[in-house]
Structure 1
Amino acid sequence: MVWKYFKQSDDKKLAKCLQCSKEYKTSGNTSNLRDHLKRMHPASDRDNTPSTSSSNRSSYNSIDSYFKRAVEYDSSSKRKKDIDSALTQLVTESFHPFNIVNDNAFRKFVKVLDTRYVLPSKNTLKNIHITNLYESRKAILFDILSNVANVAITTDCWSSMNNEAYITVTCQFIDEEYNFRHAVLPTKKLNDITNHTARNIADSLHDVVMEWSIFNKECCVTTDNASSMTKACELLKLRHLPCVAHTLNLVVQDGLKEFVLQSLISKCKTIVTFFRSSTTAMEKFKLGQRSERPLKLKQDVITRWNSTYIMIQRILQTSTAISSVLLSTPKAPPTLTADEIQALEEIEKLLLPFLTITEKCSGNYVTVSLIIPLVNGLYRNMMEQAKSLKSQHGINLCSKLLEGIKKRLIIYETRTPTRMATILDPRFKKEAFISENIANETSNLLETEIMHFMGHSHTQPPSQQEAPEGEDTLFSFLHERNRNKRLSKRADSILIKRQYLERQNAAQNTNPLDYWKLAEEDFLPLKECVLKYLCIPASSVESERMFSKAALIVNEKRSQLKPKNVDMLCFLNKNNWL
């Protein structure tokens, strides 16, 4: 009986499968129910076949089994396992919901590609395939981190579309082949979902680093400038580096708050709003550019200074078309004057270096050593530009930017992670510092670090090397005396440091990790320092990038995802390199 495997609803209009909970409409007719058993539960369907004579039943089952084997892949089939794996990758990498396997169009598409493949159920996909992939990759990453001496982390908090608070933790390290690696660790709800206090963030972060056994491996935590994040690092007694991209944002935002600038920026925003709200004006604007690929105007977003820069840049690129449309359209806002265009050109030129630094310090490579030389170059660039500015808008902005650089950015020279990373970068060494005194202090600090790692070095100091084979025995007393002449660790560290610093700096296009990978064994203590400091990210962009990823994961199609599934999907999506 079909009803052995289905439960009928009270109104007799629906039947629910007792094995997979799939519901079907029924009015007493069981054809669609039998079809479901054949497709999804063939073993049950065999039990449900019509009973005639034993010989006929045996013949029916034999034929049915034959065609089943011909039509469907066995669960142990390599082909089925490969397709299941590809399906799992599709869901985790392309942000498809788990119930894509129930989508009729997708099922038809898969059936056309391979008629013998039967899609797994939603629960099988989620609880078996995705969970197994997550556990295997987590084990791989855990094993890798267990063999890494130094790990730097970034972290930030974000809210899902359901207004649920999550914290994401990422880690960066340099592997044994001197490759810069980035991995996402857990994405989880805060321990106390009712507040975002520093203590709550610290407790949540502590649980993560203890779970991954990296508490004693972090040399630095990079976060934004929020006071709660800074305080959380203090509570955990972890070294903290403020995100340079966030700091740059604060410097530029302070500069753009200048009253004179606000009126000009407001006028630009009004022009953009007009074109975006009028289809007629927009069509005239596109035609006025006389280009096969006309540009669109971009609106300013108050929280991101680079959106202001992009808005100004796009207005300058299309200023002729803008003026033509505004002057010929009734009730249009006033067009920009020649003086205002000049002011915008100066503003764009002043903001461009900030955009360049933000992009350079947000890559998946060594970035912490770039901060001090880029800030030094930025300060000099602003000083040079100040000499040629003509508009009051440009002069005011330049003054505010220089003030912000002195207040928020030059201080990076005094932070241990940034100055140690700079001197250990063969492209910069001591020459990248603004202050000569800080450069010398950093050189002395490098000696101390070398001394700390001297005990880990497997190379013999020159005074302890064995006598060469074949040496004249008449001079053996010289070797004996030389062997007894032991240099101090301080002397050895000074010698190693001097050999490194006095060499010619590497070219600017050199990958510092490639340099240190090929460095002589005499520099082994320095290479230990490199692994400790160059793994630190200059910005917390990696953890912030999870916001956009998470917005695609926790979306309208799967707004009810459980936190453990959010964690799995974020982990798998960002750790493909494993």
Structure 2
Amino acid sequence: MEGSCKRSRSLVWNYFDLVSPSKVKCMICDKQLAFSSNTSSMLRHLRSTHPGVTEEYDNPAVSAHTGTSKQGRQEELDEALVDMVIKDLQPFSTVEDKGFKAFVNKLDPSYILPTRKALKAMVQAKYCAAKEKAMAEVKQATYVSLTSDMWTSINMDGYLGVTCHYVTAEAKLATVLLCVSQFPQTHTAAHITESMSGLMTDWGISGKIHCMVTDNAANLVATAQLLKVRHVPCFAHTLNLVVKKAIDQTPKLQVIRQKARKIVSLFRSSCNAKEKLSEMQQLMGRPVQKVVQEVDTRWNSTYDMLQRLYDQREAVGAALSNLNTEVVPLTSGEYDIISECLTLLLPLKHATAEMSAEKMVSASKMIPLYRMLQHTISEKSTKVTREESIQLGVHLKESLRSRFHTLESTRVLALATLLDPRFKTIGFGNPDRVREAERQLTLECASLMRSSPDTVHVTPQEPQPSTSALAPSLEAACPTDNLWQLLDLRVSEAQRVHSATADATVEVQRYLMDAYLGRQEDPLLYWKERITVYPSLYQLAIKYLCLPATSVPSERIFSKAGEVLCKKRSRLKPSTAEQIIFLNKND
């Protein structure tokens, strides 16, 4: 208590921490001094060791007129430093680097850099405030959807990442990182379920979760089942499986792919080959570009590898002919096959990129986008001439149908499509599925109307008056033993259900007859402007349109985590890493 009082009276406490009743520590150099209820020794230390910070004590005029502003300036720069560490994922040790210290001193000699420990404490304080704010915002959401994924760090530590998606009161799609926490247990569904249950309770979303989107990993699918949450497979991962299978089923394309990998490996591992390629590109007036390495887990990297080789085919061929290597170049016929196959694969690449965008309504696109992919690939298949390209087109269509043919019968996706004013019924391909989706939407809308606070509920204590002229005399004769009470209640409930169903039917049909929204426009803005026109459908729209189409948000968390948990920061605690990533992603 005494230390805190001293802090409020003396600006010396801006540079010292009370570590015990008789000890203080300098925040600039970490030196500890004896403390006996006065600041004299602390001020002497500052004057002798850090003379640049004592101007406000040694010059009363400066202290009187600028002391407060200096303190405010110190806090302002501290906050900017914390933001830099978070946004650029810089290590706390940055403040100890000689070059950084000299740079800061040149910019503002009066600014005292915090110690590494002080900076870490500032980040922790910012994390606590940001998490509290995020929790308050998430608790305001009526419905949320989750994405989840598992990851292993460079230190072979397991991590669980979870993101939350919801529609705000301003009808904006919001994404919040809930956690990217160390997961020391085995990655079984039971352990993941236990961890996620605690997380859901902490964030107050246990009864609000509409769906969970993950890849096709069996443990994550089982986790959704154990949590009794609807599971939706990641569209991007499924599309990746579609393309990889189609390529694997096209033998000649596989041979070309293997040859391409060897060519790329040469130019990325040999300095001589790399320089020769650059030389050839300049001589031919081509852009100086590096070849692209394929990543086994991402099919679009295969596309990028083949596309770059095709674009630089003359320079690549010339460079290989001038190198002493056993790597076999691609032939002109093979490049023709690559060109036609790239034409077939391009729509799938566009679809992957579009569906992986964050802060955009996406789940409602899955059904219409699948239909457009079928149509586009069928159309492009008629224009290719090479046998290998024709085979690839057939395999792509078969694989698409095999993986996505159940989309229209998936209730959450069908209702999301129907509630997206850009698509409605025209987004479907099967008329029976359209009728079923309309029926389900009407039933859910009617259920919402019946459960509305404005609805009058009939209770056994207050039965509705009978319409029969004889009823009053019967009730008067037997007020405590109404023979017809059960039937009267059932009739009343049936009337209420009928009324709600009729009202829901009217609201749904009015919406479906309304004009379509442009494909590039925001469906959430549409619903915000019509909240009074379609009040029940608005509630269902924010429920179904907050669902992301992919689990990419969780994967992007781990891309950031890889930058934080690197060799330079091998001593960083998992809890501190989580704080930094939380602030970085939720900024």
Q: Which category describes the TM-score, using the shorter chain as reference length?
A: 0.7 to 0.9
State the distance in 1 between where 2:67 and 2:46 align: 22
Residue-pair matches, total:
511
Alignment pair present for 1:283 and 2:275:
yes
Q: 1: distance between equivalents of 2:61 and 2:180? A: 43
In 1, distance between residues paired with 2:28 and 2:514?
Answer: 72
Q: Is 2:335 the counterpart of 1:341?
A: yes
**Would the aligned equivalents of 2:85 and 2:92 in 1 still touch at CA under 8 Å?**
yes
1:227 to 192, 207, 218: 218
- Which of these residues, 274, 277, 281, is aligned with residue 266 of structure 2? 274
Which residue in the other structure is 2:520 paired with?
509
The structure-2 alpha-carbon separation of the partners of 1:210 and 1:98, relative to structure 1 and needing over 3 Å to count, comes to same
Alpha carbons 2:246, 2:395 under 8 Å: kept? yes
1:379 aligns with 2:371: no
Give the counterpart of 2:144 among 147, 151, 162.
151
Shift of 1:45: 4.5
CA deviations on 1:392-428 (whole Å, 9 max, x unpaired) are 2212222221221111122222222211111111110
For the structure 1 residues 64 and 293, does the alpha-carbon distance in structure 2 shift closer, same or farther, using more than 3 Å as the test?
A: same
State which drifts further: 197-206 or 290-299: 290-299
The partner residue of 2:580 within 556, 562, 569 is 569
Match of 1:533 among 530, 539, 544: 544
Matched, 1:112 2:106: yes
Rate the CA distance shift 1:566–1:75 in 2: closer, same or farther, 3 A.
farther
Partner secondary structure for residue 212 of structure 2: strand
Deviation at 1:20, TM superposition (A): 5.9
- TM-score computed with the length of structure 2 as normaliser: 0.81
1-side partners of 2:400 and 2:582: how far apart?
Answer: 37
- 2:240 matches 1:244: no
Cα 1:346–1:458, aligned 2, differ >3 Å: closer, same or farther?
farther
Q: Deviations over 1:24-70 (max 9, x none)?
A: 9xxxxxxxx89x99xxx9853546799xxxxxxxxxxx999315996
Distance 1:396 1:556, change over 3 A: same
Q: Summarize the alignment of residues 18-37 of structure 1 with structure 2, pairs less than 5 Å apart.
A: 19=25
**What is the percentage of aligned positions where both structures have the same residue?**
33
State the Cα deviation string for residues 168-224 of structure 1 (Å, max 9, x = none). 11111111111111111122122xx24111111111111111110001111001111
**Distance change >3 Å, CA 292–CA 327, structure 1 → 2:** closer
Query: Separation in 2 of the partners of 1:398 and 1:292?
Result: 31
Q: Is the 8 A contact 1:73 1:118 kept in 2?
A: no
Shift of residue 522, structure 1, vs aligned partner: 2.6
Match of 1:557 in 2: 568
Q: Is the contact between residue 173 and residue 361 of structure 2 (CA under 8 Å) also seen in structure 1?
A: yes
Residue 495 in structure 1 maps to residue 506 in structure 2: yes
On the 8 A contact 1:446/1:497 being kept in 2, the answer is yes
C-alpha RMSD of matched pairs (Å): 3.0
- Alpha-carbon shift at residue 452 of structure 1 (Å): 2.1
Give the aligned residue type for 1:510.
E
TM-score by length of 1: 0.82
Question: How far 1:383 moved relative to its partner?
Answer: 1.8
Structure 1 residue 265 and structure 2 residue 257: aligned? Answer: yes
Alignment of 1:102-501 (within 5 A): 102-127=96-121, 129-190=122-183, 193-258=184-249, 259-289=251-281, 290-291=284-285, 293-364=287-358, 365-455=360-450, 488-501=499-512
Give the gaps of 5 or more residues in structure 2.
Answer: 1-22, 48-53, 457-494
Corresponding residue number in structure 2 for 1:57: none
Task: Indicate the SS of the match to 1:19.
Answer: strand
**Per-residue deviation, 1:352:** 1.0
Q: Tell me which moved more, 526-535 or 337-346.
A: 337-346
Query: Structure 2 vs 1, CA of residues 575 and 293 (structure 1 numbering), >3 Å: closer, same or farther?
Result: same
Question: Cα distance 1:64–1:175, how it changes in 2: closer, same or farther (>3 A)?
Answer: closer
In structure 1, the residue matched to 2:57 is 65
Q: What's 2:8 paired with?
A: none
Aligned-residue offset at 1:381? 1.6
Could you tell me how far 1:571 is from its partner in structure 2? 0.8
Following superposition, the deviation at residue 278 of structure 1 comes to 3.8
- When structure 1 is superposed on structure 2, of 115-124 and 332-341 the one drifting more is 332-341
Q: Greater shift after overlay, 102-111 or 171-180?
A: 102-111
Could you say what secondary structure the match of 2:25 adopts?
coil
Q: Deviations over 1:104-148 (max 9, x none)?
A: 222222222222221222222212x11221111111111111211
What is the letter of the counterpart of residue 317 of structure 1? D
SS in 2 for 1:390: coil
Q: Which digits, 9 at most, give the CA deviation of each residue in 1:248-271, with x for residues without a partner? A: 111111122233322111111122
Q: Which residue of 2 aligns with 1:93?
A: 87
Secondary structure, aligned partner of 1:77: helix
Distance 1:497 1:106 in 2: 62
What secondary structure, in the 3-state scheme, does the structure 2 residue paired with 1:417 have?
Answer: helix
Letter in 1 for 2:170: E
Distance 1:112 1:386 in 2: 64
Any idea what the Cα deviations from partners look like across 1:485-513, whole Å, max 9, x if unmatched? 99711111111111111223212121111
Shift in alpha-carbon separation, 1:559–1:20, aligned structure 2, 3 A: farther
Distance in 2 separating the partners of 1:204 and 1:346: 48
Whether the aligned pair in 1 keeps the contact of 2:252 and 2:388 (CA below 8 Å) is yes
Structure 1 residues 102 and 495: alpha-carbon distance in aligned structure 2, compared to 1, 3 A threshold:
same
In 2 relative to 1, CA 69–154 (structure 1 residues): closer, same or farther, beyond 3 Å? farther
The answer to whether 1:80 aligns with 2:74 is yes
| Paired residues of 1:172 and 1:183 also in contact (CA < 8 A) | yes
Identify which range, 71-80 or 495-504, moves more after superposition: 71-80
CA distance in 2, matches of 1:411, 1:526: 25
